[in-house]
Structure formats: structure tokens, C-alpha cells
Amino acid sequence: MKPLFIAGPCVIESAELLDVVAAKLAQIKEQTGAEVYFKASFDKANRTSIHSFRGPGLEQGLQMLADIKAKYGLPLLTDVHESFQATAAGEVVDVLQIPAFLCRQTDLLVAASQTGKVVNIKKAQFLSGEDMQFPVEKCRETGAKEVWLTERGNIYGYNNLVVDFRNIPLMKNYTDRVIMDCTHSVQRPGAAGGKTGGNREFVPAMAKAAKAFGANGYFFETHPNPEAALSDGPNMLYLDELDGLIQDLLA
């Protein structure tokens, strides 16, 4: 199975940012022939602080994503935090993503599955790879035709994550597509004074280790200027470094 790549900014900041990132992804797709999905969130409902930037919201955000799809022809992925968002999002995007902390929320999983779109479930920071068979069952038994699982690390004390790469082959027992979230796995949750910190220098190593353990998909949050990003900047990959890393993973 050829690897796929999911990349984009954490949150929709502006139409201009989406355009810059999507243009780069379309170029990478054309040059490599890889399967590339554009990712951005219309609403980040799980930020650390009440003052954190959340995005443009459901209606405006989905229209902005639809514009990107029409212009660049990239398939889309976005996350949903509440059941009522699934139907509207499913009319625009190709993959509905279930955030890690919500991966056991039955109503959310069912609503996403009933859209007929691919459902990508991120493994919770407090669950093992084996535990993910049950969210997959919930989706498959309620209409999902294709379910992906994504590894993103486990809680390790306070404000820290660690990745047990054994989860990748373990989760392959439940679904064919197991993705490594290479940027959220280097987060330092809540460790930056009311927002999440991170160590982006470890992102390439995370990706290459995941490849060794059999990952067949890779997730990267990326931004032309992560220091100025409105969400998750410390763990995001510089946009101009994405091409080289994808080339390494395809080699």
C-alpha cells in the first residue's frame, strides 16, 4: 500500500494562508505522484485557553475549504468535534477526522460514519493500540466504508507525550490504513503558559521511525511561518521543509 500524506495548517487563519499551503501541496503531489490530502480545521474547540483562536466556524470554514478543493483539486480532511457538524462537513470534505480526546464518543463516531465519508480516528493519548478496535467497530457497524487510525502519542506525566511505535503494527490488526501524526506527537500539551508547546525538531525522526514500524500514512501540520501561527506553532513543520521530508519517506 502506497503511503498517503495529510498536511496543512492547524486551523484556518485566512484564505491567503490556505492558498499558500495548498499551492505547495499541489506542487508536491504533481512532482511525486503521492496521494496528498489538504487538512485544516474550521473550529478548534479543544484549545487550552478560552482566549485561544478557534477559527472561522463551520459555515465560513467549510466554504473556504471548498474553494481550495475547487482551485487545486486536493482531497480534503477536517476534524469534527460535535455530532451536528458531521453532515455539513461531509458534504465538502473527503475525510472526517475524530480528535483524539473524542475517539470514544459514540454519537460523534456514528454521525461521521453515516456520512459515507472516510473516518480517520486519532488514538487517544490515554489508550493503547489494542483499545482502538472498539472505535473502529462503532464506525463499521454504523455505516463507515473505510476507517483509518492515527497514532499521536500517549500522555507521559504532565505536559509531555511519548510515542510507543508498537501501536502502529498493533492497530493494523483493525484497519489497513495506519497514519502517524508526526507533529502532534511532539507536542508539550499545555506547557507554554495557557497554550501548547512542542519540539518540531523531532518531527522528521518521528516520521522515519513510524515508517520503520509500518505506517502507511503521515500527518503533518505545516505553516510558512510557524512562529506566527495562531495554533500549534511550536510543533508545526516549516512549509519549505515538507517537500524534502516527503521525498525521504517515499524513497
The pLDDT confidence band at residue 195, using thresholds 50, 70 and 90, is low
User: What is the Cα–Cα distance from 225 to 223, expressed in whole angstroms?
Assistant: 5
User: What is the Cα–Cα distance from 177 to 168, expressed in whole angstroms?
Assistant: 10
Residues 6+ apart with CB under 8 A from 217: 3, 4, 5, 6, 148, 150, 177, 178, 179, 180
Helices (H), 73-105: 85-90
Enter the pTM of the model. 0.95
Instruction: Answer for the pair 227, 239: CB distance below 8 angstroms, yes or no.
Output: no
Percent of the chain with pLDDT over 70: 97
Please state whether 153 falls in left (phi above 0), alpha (psi between -120 and 50) or beta: left
What's the pLDDT at 86? 98
The count of domains in the chain is: 1
Q: Which residue has the higher pLDDT, 51 or 101?
A: 101
What's the pLDDT at 55? 86
- In the predicted structure, residue 42 carries a pLDDT above the cut 80: yes
Residue 225: which domain range? Answer: 4-250
- Could you read off the pLDDT of 62-110 as tens digits, one per residue? 999 999 999 999 999 999 999 999 999 999 999 999 999 999 999 999 9
- Could you read off the pLDDT of 114-154 as tens digits, one per residue? 999 999 999 999 999 999 999 999 999 999 999 999 999 99
What's the pLDDT at 232? 79
What's the pLDDT at 102? 97
Amino acid letter for position 111: A
The pLDDT confidence band at residue 194, using thresholds 50, 70 and 90, is low
Report the CATH number at residue 51: 3.20.20.70
**Lowest mean pLDDT: which of 133-147, 179-193, 197-211, 216-230?**
179-193
Cα distances from 107 to residues 25, 135, 158, in angstroms, run 33, 11, 29
Counting DSSP H helices and E strands in the chain, the numbers are: 8, 13
What's the pLDDT at 1? 85
Q: Dump strand ranges (E) for 123-215.
A: 147-151, 154-155, 161-162, 177-181, 187-188, 197-198
Cα distances from 96 to residues 13, 189, 213, in angstroms, run 20, 23, 25
